[in-house]
Structure 1
Amino acid sequence: MIDQLSESCITSSAVDLRHVLTKLSNSIVSGIALGKKYGGEDGNEGFLDMIREYGVLLAAFCIGDYFPSLAWVDVVTGLNGRLNKASRTMDAFLDRVIKEHQERKEIGGQDGDDQRDFVDVLLHLQECSEIGVEMDRDSIKALILDMFNAATETTAMTMEWVMAELIKNSEVMKKAQDELRRVMAGKQKVEEDDLHQMHYLKCVIEETLRLHPVAPLLAPKESNTEVMLQGDSNHSICPAIYKFEDFLSNTGVC
């Protein structure tokens, strides 16, 4: 992603930030879950297109689910055909991934727990009788899909909102940039230990999640009475404004 952005800066070309961030999140999640990057970072766009189509169909309105007598409408509109095609494609892909992991295990391709990915853990649990839960192949596929559905779009969406808010709030962006330059101190790449020192950036992310929650409609709840959270009676005068400096402590931590 960094190389692509650098090249775009040199050529002064536009960047489709949503597409870039989606590829990045898919690469990270697929590396953790499948042990291989399928997010398109290496030019492989097939997996990314498959995940995108799966997400679109997941949110599609299927009239047959609400009015069974009108299920024929989904056939006429082609929705059923798209659903069946996406299901077969995803099922074949997951079968191939599971088979690759099983073959790698048979030839002794795992060197300790640090080399195992999410699929390896699920296959181990399938063979383990101590958990008391029967885990078949379909269960493994469902858990892998849950991993992608919960982590890819939500992560990319949050990063996109962070960038949008930073562009709108130039002062916040400058403070975040100053903190980044101070922590990096001439280093070329950000390491995990550096993140613990970026308190202002953490506040930027938390404020973005407050204004733009990734799943705002899952569990709606409204307080009928005034409440005090963790003994703090302070509240924001303008909750719709992107501002969090009032909640920064003397140490610069939210």
Structure 2
Amino acid sequence: MATLQDYTLLFLILLISSLLLRTIFSKFRTTRNLPPSPFALPIIGHLHLLAPIPHQALHKLSTRYGPLISLRLGSVPCIVSSSPETAKEFLKTHELSFASRPVSAAIDIITYGSNDFSFAPYGPYWKFMKKLCMSELLGGRILDQFSPVRREEIQSLLLSLSKKSNVGEKVDVGKELVTLTNNIISRMAMGRRCIGSEEEAEGVQELVQEVAHLTGKFNFADFIGFCKNFDLQGLEKRYKDVHKRFDEMMEGIMREHEEARKEEKEEGEGVKDLLDILLEISDDENAEVKLTRENIKAFILDIFVAGTDTSAITTEWTLAELINHPPIMKKLREEIDSMVGKTRVVEESDIPNLPYLQAIVKETLRLHPTGPLILRESTQDCEIGGYDIPAYTRLFINVWAIGRDPDHWENPLEFSPERFISGGSSVDVRGQHFHLLPFGSGRRGCPGTSLALQVVQATVAAMVQCFDLKVGNGGENGKVDMTEGLGLTLPRAKPLVCVPVARLGLLP
């Protein structure tokens, strides 16, 4: 039986061998002018430098080594961009070289072998799915058609909060917001809420949040070759469990739609939703792209995760900032009361007349972008900022750091919506201004930007108009703890728990 000494000796041999091999190969490989890089350890490279929260750790490295850094995460070569200027080079000047995204074990297992829209390689399938997404779900005409759905779901949220307000009950605001956004996406994509009972609602919310958490969690197997055959962290088991639960839910919903389609053929055409259209395309032998059942389920999963968690988290961060800044909350209420009045609830159609509300949401997205890191992968060699970037290099654009860049933002850590009023009002979040990139930019920028802004702005306005939110826990002296948590979508470390107190008597 091997002893501790045996294992120690083996480890030392492996370590020394790795150092020797690295030295030998470095002499024979073509010399490249790579960006600055910190000292790397054998085998793991710079992985140890990413703890505890990657985007924060990368920001610290950029303050020392500059806006463009070269890293080696295990065996994966990486580049980190932390300035608007370098981000523009990657996302605009050399966009086609970085139009694909790297695939992790989590993505591969959960999304049916990377059959989803977000992580599909840039090519015919991705282009077809984006066109379909914009024409049947996220285009301006479709968003207008679904305006009553969003209004009904926000009204449902307000009524739920009102009931809890009447009895002084504490509310986990994040959970309520996930229910809201989940219902909106479900009704837009599948013509129905996918949840009924409170127990079922919690199950779906946990599923969506777990997918977001797992896809953002570090997995050694993605970076260190010899770990790929060993589930050292137990993550692969969790990936498969989430995949199985989602698959069972989607199979049930798809069977319902297929039965309804049979009835409609007999009785006449009914109203089609996105899932109906996807099923029709999968049955069409002459379709531009042949969709499998797995393609459809992966696409719906993508829409759920991208549309549910992100909008809910942005709304939660916005409300937390407003609670911590009473003068800003007061100014927003004055704007709403002035433009909307006190006899009806604010609606989406009022948003163009509420510039301070829009500025508040922009400022939240600057400080708390729901996607703190944009991930891409180069498909060919290129030169950025005088440095060589080899093909198959993984790219991290640190959106979180760019939003805090003191060269582009005055008092960057201060929550100040006024920076987007008057002189800053022309700065938008749609990827044209590279010092503010919460939704990315270019071909692979977020297609759901318009929907997200409508949901977040309308929800924040309605909640601020109708309720005072008294901090229930996680805060001191009425303040909310603003610590960030781990995840792909920048969740809060502690939930926002409040007691809603009704303001205007607009709700029963």
What TM-score do the two structures reach when normalised by structure 2?
0.42
Between 161-170 and 119-128, the greater mean CA deviation after superposition = 119-128
CA RMSD of aligned residues (A): 3.0
Q: 1:152 aligns with which of 284, 305, 308?
A: 308
Other-structure match for 1:244: 417
Contact 1:94 1:141 in 2 (8 A): yes
Q: CA deviation at 1:135?
A: 0.8
Alignment pair present for 1:168 and 2:324: yes
Contact 1:122 1:140 in 2 (8 A): yes
Other-structure match for 2:374: 218
Question: How far apart are the structure 2 equivalents of 1:127 and 1:79?
Answer: 35
- Secondary structure, aligned partner of 1:215: coil
What is the CA deviation profile of residues 163-190 of structure 1, one whole-angstrom value per residue up to 9, with x for unaligned ones? 0111122111111111222233244333
Alignment pair present for 1:117 and 2:303: no
What amino acid does structure 2 have at the position aligned with 1:96? G
Other-structure match for 2:169: 13
Q: 1:183 aligns with which of 323, 328, 339?
A: 339
Choose between structure 1 and 2: higher strand proportion. Answer: 2
Contact 1:22 1:152 in 2 (8 A): yes
Provide the aligned length of Structure 1 versus Structure 2.
239
- Secondary structure, aligned partner of 1:218: strand
What is the CA deviation profile of residues 10-63 of structure 1, one whole-angstrom value per residue up to 9, with x for unaligned ones? 222222111111121111111112221235786632322322333333334444
Tell which has more relative contact order, 1 or 2 (C-alpha 8 A, sep 6+). Answer: 2
In the alignment, structure 1 segments of 5+ residues that lack a partner are 223-233
- Secondary structure, aligned partner of 1:139: helix
What is the CA deviation profile of residues 131-171 of structure 1, one whole-angstrom value per residue up to 9, with x for unaligned ones? 52111111111111111121111111100110011112211
The structure number with the bigger radius of gyration is 2
In the alignment, structure 2 segments of 5+ residues that lack a partner are 1-156, 376-395, 399-406, 428-508
Structure 1 residues 171 and 41, CA gap change in structure 2 (3 angstroms) = farther
Contact 1:184 1:190 in 2 (8 A): yes
Other-structure match for 1:59: 216
Q: How does 1:25-174 map to 2 (within 5 A)?
A: 25-38=181-194, 44-45=200-201, 46-67=203-224, 69-70=226-227, 74=231, 78-108=234-264, 115-128=271-284, 131-174=287-330
What amino acid does structure 2 have at the position aligned with 1:50? L
What amino acid does structure 1 have at the position aligned with 2:313? M
What TM-score do the two structures reach when normalised by structure 1?
0.80
Question: How far apart are the structure 1 equivalents of 2:239 and 2:419?
Answer: 49
Other-structure match for 1:226: none
Other-structure match for 1:227: none
How much identity, in percent, do the aligned residues show? 31
